[in-house]
Amino acid sequence: MTAPLANIIKSRGMRPSEHYDRAKLHRSLKLTLLSERSHDGEADNTADKVCTGVERWLRERPEVTSHDLRRIASKHLTRYNPGAAYIYEHHRHTI
């Protein structure tokens, strides 16, 4: 078993922190991509690529905020689907 990549600080420290969870990030990315009308297989592959990019970034950081994680995931997602990246990064401000 490998050690967790990073500890994720949630909601400005108001909620308990949690370990990075690739499946949780993947699911979130895939749902965003599907909402932008990506095909299921394409959404799955893109989410995998973005998770891999995020994990490379996390290797050097023992602790990050959930906002940082979302920002970096969005940056990687922009390469594949700029519309989905915008929605993913600004999910709280999107109606």
Q: Write out pLDDT tens, residues 16-27.
A: 889 999 999 999
What is the per-residue pLDDT across 59-83, written as a single tens digit (0 to 9) for each? Answer: 999 999 999 999 999 999 999 999 9
* 67/42 Cα distance (integer angstroms): 25
- Burial class, 63, CB count within 10 angstroms (exposed 0-12 / middle 13-18 / buried 19+): exposed
Specify the higher pLDDT residue, 14 or 74: 74
92 token code pair: 């709280």
The pLDDT score that the predictor gives to residue 91 is: 76
Per-residue pLDDT at 1 exceeds 50: no
Radius of gyration of the chain (CA): 13
The pLDDT score that the predictor gives to residue 2 is: 55
